[in-house]
Amino acid sequence: MLEVGVYSVAEMRTILGVKTKQEIDRKLDRYLIKYRSNGRAEKRVYEIMEVPDPFKLYCVRELGVPPQADFDRIRNLYYYFFCVEGFTDLPLIEMAKVMEAEGVEASRQCVSKWIAFLRKLDYIGFTNNECEYYAISKDEQGNRVCKAISRADYRDAWCIYFEWRDIEGCGSAYTRMYNTIGGHPYKKPIYRQNALKYEEIEYLIDLIIDTLPEPD
């Protein structure tokens, strides 16, 4: 990760994933990084004087987030994800609702996509046998509602569906199941951080905390 300091041209090639001086300079300019360099060829040295948006740089370089993404919203999601207890146990739609309640627009699809960047680098993963269970329905305004249920309720609901499917058909069996628990039974595996990626995750959390906006 690029930080304030002095780097050889070889180090800059590795960090930025480019080969020539012109490509290095273009990337630094694109990221609005303040720098100066001196020397020729392999003896060239870069002094990084300021990295104005280290969180964005980290996301682009390390996580593979597209440069045109909304990094304020991604940072807020990652703050909730790593720093707010219980957030990772929620279904995606509920994660989006929590963010929206704090004034941050986020769809379920966006939340899923941003979490996928963390999974791709194996920062997080699913547990093998721990899950949260929900009944998903809609309120009178058409908004999706998630009600926590037990594993037994989840299992019994699907038993009802399969028991009645061959007798009454899929539609009627589904209605029976839905009415039994008050929604569609949904199972969500619980996210867990990868302990082997502890240092990388802690570095990312530090960047998140450092770039949070000051409270009004």
The pLDDT of 3-12, averaged and rounded, is 89
Same domain for 77 and 118?
A: yes
Residues 6+ apart with CB under 8 A from 49: 4, 34, 35, 36
Domain boundary at 52, 67, 89, which? 52
Question: Mean pLDDT across the chain, nearest whole number?
Answer: 87
DSSP 139-157: -TTS-EEEEEE-HHHHHHH
pLDDT at 132: 85
The pLDDT of 47-57, averaged and rounded, is 87
Strand partners, 155: none
The pLDDT of 164-185, averaged and rounded, is 91
Q: Please tell me whether the overall predicted TM-score, pTM, comes out greater than 0.85 for this model.
A: no
| Owning domain of residue 72 | 59-123+194-216
Per-residue pLDDT reduced to its tens digit, 58-104: 898 889 898 889 898 899 899 888 988 888 888 888 888 888 877 77
Picking from 49, 45, 15, 18, the residue whose alpha carbon sits closest to that of residue 35 is 49
Per-residue pLDDT reduced to its tens digit, 105-119: 788 899 999 999 999
Picking from 128, 147, 134, the residue whose alpha carbon sits closest to that of residue 186 is 134
Q: How many domains does the structure of the chain reveal?
A: 3
Same domain for 151 and 186?
A: yes
